[in-house]
Amino acid sequence: MTASYTERTHAAFAGQPIDTADPRVLAWLVRRHGLEMTHLSRGSHIGAVFSMAEIISVLYTRILRVRPDEPKWPDRDRLILSKGHAGAAVYAALAERGFFPVEELSTHYADGSRLSGHVSHKGVPGVEVSTGSLGHGLGVGVGMALGAKLDKAPWRVFCILGDGECDEGSVWEAALQARQYGLDNLVCIVDHNRMQSLDFCEKTLALEPFADKWRAFGWRCLTADGHDTEALEKALREAEAARGSGVPTAVIALTTKGKGVSFMEDDILWHYRTPQGEEYEAALRELEAQRP
């Protein structure tokens, strides 16, 4: 009998209980699902999923106040994945945290599925906003954070951007507005994997000095190792402590595209390439060897 999708992706735990509240465990699962989902769907963007595995995992284990059994809880924190092409990472984290069955991840990209390649909110519990065209998410986040502030509501808005996405002018429009409206309930996390679609960011449209750009726009900007769950948690908690300052916080997460599989790391090929055949097997072996 063929193992189910869930059995396959959980096989490395050999029946042991899986503590998805541990950010390192969740990050590993996000990569495991990212590999399986892009393999099954012959889909793209595995590199962008892997680079944000710790970011999404720290958020869903340590930071976000959300209720898997009540996804529309009015006081929930809002997460917007502005780099919508890494939707698999969000779907995987949501499923593992109990928003919907893990088995459904096998339908990513498939005919009739809810789980489109770029993240979709249509019928998917826990997803607030559909994205996929870059440069939209921060503006929507500004509107949500402004609404929360006007309502004196306790919830916060977290927005994950890609670094390549910061080529879009609309990101910087929203950055100006967030500062203008004193949105200290808005946190922008940039997955700074240093690569975009065709090449390194610095060779395309140089972003450096990147942190200084955010500071020049009036934001507080923190930098953290984007694969160190403790460093990320610390930075995000610092952002939380900034409530009342009237200043929005950007966290630049220093990451590696394709992190976790040696031959995918820092190789632009894996923005688009789908893991198949021997490459899939080799990636699986590497991930299994890293299971926390």
Instruction: Tell me which residues touch another protein (CB under 8 A).
Output: 121, 128-133, 135-148, 150-151, 153, 169-170, 173-174, 176-177, 180-181
Cα dihedral angle (173, 176, 178, 179), rounded to 10 degrees?
180
Residue 147 beta carbon to another protein: minimum distance, rounded to whole angstroms:
3
62 or 179: whose CB is closer to another protein? 179
Return d(Cα 212, Cα 185) in angstroms, integer.
21
Least distance from C-beta 71 to another protein, angstroms? 14
Q: How far is the CB of 289 from another protein (least distance, A)?
A: 40
User: Of 124, 154, 126, 161, whose CA–CA distance to 140 is shortest?
Assistant: 161
DSSP 134: T
Half-sphere exposure (Cβ direction) of 187: Cα atoms closer than 13 Å? 29
In the complex, minimum distance from the CB of residue 118 to another protein, in angstroms, rounded to a whole number = 10
Closest by CA to 157, choosing from 99, 89, 78, 256, is 78
- CA–CA separation, 181 and 215 (whole Å): 16
Residue 106: CB partners within 8 Å, gap ≥ 6? Answer: 5, 36, 37, 40
Residue placing its CB nearer to another protein in the complex, 17 or 123: 123
* Nearer Cβ to another protein (101/154): 154
Cβ–Cβ < 8 Å for 182, 148: no
In the complex, the smallest distance separating the C-beta of residue 240 from another protein, rounded to whole angstroms, is 20
Instruction: Answer yes or no: are the C-beta atoms of 27 and 89 closer than 8 Å.
Output: no
Q: How far is it, in rounded angstroms, from Cα 8 to Cα 125?
A: 24
Task: Write down the least CB distance from residue 241 to another protein, Å.
Answer: 24
Whole-number CA gyration radius for the chain: 18
The contacts of residue 20 (CB under 8 Å, 6+ apart) are 26, 29, 61, 96, 97
Residue closer to another protein (CB basis): 106 or 131? 131
Closer of 13 and 181 to another protein (Cβ): 181
Whichever of 121 and 220 has its CB closer to another protein, that residue is: 121
The rounded Cα 260 to chain-centroid distance in angstroms is 15
User: Which residue, 119 or 284, is less far from another protein as judged by CB?
Assistant: 119
In the complex, minimum distance from the CB of residue 177 to another protein, in angstroms, rounded to a whole number: 6
Q: Evaluate whether 247 touches 271 at the Cβ level (below 8 Å).
A: no
Scanning the structure block, which residue is given the tokens 């998805």?
20
Q: How far is the CB of 178 from another protein (least distance, A)?
A: 9
Q: Write out the two tokens for 182.
A: 């004193």
Q: Which is nearer to another protein, 171 or 283 (CB)?
A: 171
